[in-house]
Amino acid sequence: MQYPIVRVTWIDSSVQREGEWVFASEMNSDVMVVESVGWLIRKDDEKIVMSISYAGEGEQHQYDSPLAIPVEAIRAMDEVHGAEEI
């Protein structure tokens, strides 16, 4: 099975000094803009699912580190072209 390779720009939450107390004047309310590249495994009205690798066929089909990204968080998604088979 062949999946398209995509680059996704999406918005993620960020942690303000994890495990520490923070003064209001030091708080940063910025979110993180993330760029992810991988195989587009699934897409529906709520989310996309991408994976950095996949292998096997039929009952042995597996995905490595699948990532679900909510559609609301996606700012851009482009198919990556130009990949060559070796």
b/e map of 36-74 (b: 16 or more CB within 10 Å)?
Answer: bebbbbeeeeeebbbbeebeeeeeeeebeeebebeeebe
pLDDT for 33-67, tens place per residue?
999 999 999 999 999 999 999 998 877 889 999 99
Whole-model pTM: value is 0.79
pLDDT of residue 59: 79
For residue 69, being part of any structural domain is answered with yes
The boundaries of the domain holding residue 57 are 5-73
pLDDT confidence band for 83 (50 / 70 / 90): low
For residue 60, being part of any structural domain is answered with yes
pLDDT of residue 74: 98
For residue 29, being part of any structural domain is answered with yes
